[in-house]
Amino acid sequence: MIICTGNDCDLNDKRPEFKHNFGLRFKKINNKFTQIQNQNLKKNDVSFQQGALLMYLSKVTDHEVSQKEISEVLNIKHTSVIGLLERLEEKGLIERSVKPENKRYRVITLTEKGKKTVSDIWICICHTEQKIVGSMTEEEQDLLEMLLNKFYANMETVIQTTEQEERKKEC
């Protein structure tokens, strides 16, 4: 049995048993959150992922947004981005245009309908998040945000360290 507490893990047993299974808990929270947001966004005829993309497009005003950037920001494969954009374009929420100087580079912009939809999505998501944290005090919400940010930063550090170790092995 692997018992992990702090920085110590006993790796002699093959069956992991963790004091806290944060990964599974975060996965379940993400699934529930996505399910709730998808239900609430049905009236706007968009999924949570589509809404996230539209909200991102509405916030970026300092440069043109490409399909590659969307893939990186939403952490989804390029092929998934293409399908996502096709559905949003069919709904009249975005436009894709080709840059004359680079035919492979597509610029993604919100239509007027897309801008109106983003406004509705923001309201819907804010209301939902307020319901989710409604039983928490302001201090608890601040603490949760601080801990989640710390957890995320730690995960980024682990990824970077692992990548560095892998590169060292290749040399």
Q: Which CATH number fits domain 44-132: 1.10.4190.10, 1.10.3720.10, 3.90.1170.50, 1.10.10.10?
A: 1.10.10.10
> What is this structure's pTM?
0.74
Instruction: Write out pLDDT tens, residues 15-66.
Output: 566 677 888 999 999 999 999 999 999 999 999 999 999 999 999 988 889 8
Dihedral sign computed on CA atoms, order 138, 139, 140, 146:
positive
Show the tokens assigned to 144: 């949760």
Please state the domain extents for the chain. 44-132
Determine which of 10-19, 139-148, 156-165 has the lowest per-residue pLDDT on average: 10-19
Write out the DSSP string of 7-48.
Answer: TEE--SSSSB--S--HHHHHHHHHHHHHHHHHHHHGGGT--H
